[in-house]
């Protein structure tokens, strides 16, 4: 199948595979799509190692990276960033998280490593460090998941021949991205996993396509099968940006406890909540969200204070859930879109890619076959 996306990136299938697992990224690229690594939870040194590994796997085929560069975030003292941010977390919030873990009897996780360094860098300066690493590698695409790109990103992308992409959830965000000069827009509907707005893919995609002029637009949110991919193309998208579907892939690094919860979830089991990152993000609904919604909850803090507040708690919950601890299983959650209801089994990411492309073609041919002759 040829679309403006396959032409732009020299790929066979207009499918972007967004995931934090290097194995998924390599598998999607090697299956003829393009894998994009979610880089924001890596340190610069870790990112460097992951991109080196990916390049060893893909043998010259294209891949990309995705960063999280928020426009709004709690500022800290640049000379003492972590401590100055931690000092902004109220005692009430610390007590709430401590009591929540005690209520569910979640044991300590001896192996927990605080991600303060990574989380405190959820700002343009932190993103610039990751970008420096990314541009030292042979990336074909760099995407920003929140807000307009850092000022020099577009210029660096153009100089290096790297496609600069941005996720948008509203027309006004797309307008700002176009003015900033991005090459590729990703219209992300409310049904998507992770940070997302309130407008559905079915409405948002054609709206962004009409705004974007010659720029290709990808659809994101609600796309995990070839039928949904064909629907996205009908809406005018040049391809699809898929995130959640790879959580059902063998290469995904999520623990088995959350993968099992995903496999038994329905499309009604997600919600948008700011209680994990400080900004509304769609995730699997669990007892965690009930506790934050209950009377007595202090409510979430802004990014990056909220993720700093809950980072250790989530490592403990993940470890407890993985060990089959009932409290851990009750609280266990991760970012996922409404397509989680369609997960049937765990498959290789390359099979998912190829099957989606083949089913999309089959769907389009069947639709055309239902029309009379012109």
State the minimum distance, in angstroms, from the CB of residue 37 to its own copies. Answer: 25
Q: What is the smallest separation between the CB atom of 194 and its own copies, expressed in angstroms?
A: 15
Question: Closer to its own copies at the Cβ: 133 or 242?
Answer: 242
Q: Between 119 and 229, whose beta carbon lies closer to its own copies?
A: 229
CB of 105 to its own copies, least distance (A): 31
CA distances from 285 to 20, 297, 346 (A): 21, 17, 21
Residue 231, Cβ density class (10 Å: 0-12 exposed, 13-18 middle, ≥19 buried): buried
Omega before 272 within 30 of 0, i.e. cis: no
Angle at 190 between CA 117 and CA 6, to 5 degrees: 85
* Residue placing its CB nearer to its own copies in the complex, 79 or 179: 179
Nearer of residues 294 and 368 to its own copies, judged by Cβ: 368
Interface with its own copies by CB under 8 A: which residues?
1-3, 170-172, 189-191, 197-204, 206-207, 221-223, 225, 227-228, 230-236, 266-268, 337-339, 341-342, 361, 363-365, 367-368, 370-372, 374
Task: Bin 324: left if φ > 0, else alpha if -120 < ψ < 50, else beta.
Answer: left
If one counts every other C-beta atom within 10 angstroms of the C-beta of residue 289, the result is 18
The nearest distance, CB 234 to its own copies, in angstroms, is 4
- Farthest CA pair distance, the chain: 70
Looking at beta carbons only, is 125 or 367 nearer to its own copies? 367
Nearer to its own copies, 119 or 281 (CB): 281
Q: Distance of CA 294 to CAs 219, 289, 291, 301, 314, Å?
A: 35, 9, 5, 16, 19
Burial 43-65 (b: 16+ CB within 10 A, else e): ebeebbebbeebbebbeebbbbb
| Beta carbon of residue 78, minimum distance to its own copies (angstroms, whole number) | 35
Dihedral angle, C-alpha 322, 47, 300, 296, nearest 10 °: 20
Q: Closest approach of Cβ 241 to its own copies, in Å?
A: 13
């Amino acid at each position: 199948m040829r679309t403006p996306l396959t032409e732009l990136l020299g790929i066979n299938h207009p499918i972007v595979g967004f995931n934090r697992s290097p194995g998924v990224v390599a598998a999607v690229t090697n299956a003829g799509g393009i894998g994009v690594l979610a880089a924001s939870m890596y340190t610069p040194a870790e990112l460097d190692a992951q991109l080196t590994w990916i390049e060893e796997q893909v043998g010259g085929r294209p891949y990309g990276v995705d960063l999280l560069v928020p426009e709004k975030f709690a500022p800290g003292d640049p000379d003492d960033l972590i401590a100055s941010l931690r000092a902004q977390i109220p005692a009430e919030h610390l007590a709430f998280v401590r009591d929540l873990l005690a209520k569910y009897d979640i044991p300590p996780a001896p192996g927990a490593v605080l991600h303060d360094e990574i989380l405190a860098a959820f700002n343009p300066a932190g993103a610039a460090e990751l970008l420096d690493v990314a541009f030292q590698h042979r990336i074909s695409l760099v995407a920003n998941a929140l807000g307009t790109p850092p000022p020099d990103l577009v210029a660096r992308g153009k100089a290096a021949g790297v496609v600069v992409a941005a996720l948008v959830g509203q027309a006004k965000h797309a307008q700002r991205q176009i003015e900033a000069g991005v090459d590729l827009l990703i219209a992300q509907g409310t049904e998507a996993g992770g940070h997302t707005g309130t407008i559905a893919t079915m409405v948002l995609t054609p709206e962004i396509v009409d705004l974007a002029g010659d720029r290709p637009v990808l659809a994101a949110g609600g796309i995990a099968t070839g039928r949904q991919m064909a629907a996205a193309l009908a809406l005018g998208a040049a391809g699809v940006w898929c995130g959640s579907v790879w959580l059902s892939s063998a290469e995904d690094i999520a623990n088995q406890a959350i993968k099992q919860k995903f496999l038994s979830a329905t499309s009604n089991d997600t919600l948008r909540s700011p209680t994990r990152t400080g900004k509304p993000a769609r995730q699997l609904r669990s007892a965690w969200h009930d506790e934050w919604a209950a009377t007595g909850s202090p409510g979430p803090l802004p990014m990056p204070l909220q993720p700093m507040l809950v980072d250790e708690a989530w490592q403990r919950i993940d470890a407890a859930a993985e060990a089959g601890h009932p409290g851990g299983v009750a609280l266990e959650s991760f970012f996922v879109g409404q397509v989680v209801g369609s997960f049937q089994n765990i498959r290789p990411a390359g099979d998912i890619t190829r099957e989606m492309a083949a089913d999309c073609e089959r769907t389009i041919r069947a639709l055309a076959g239902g029309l009379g002759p012109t």
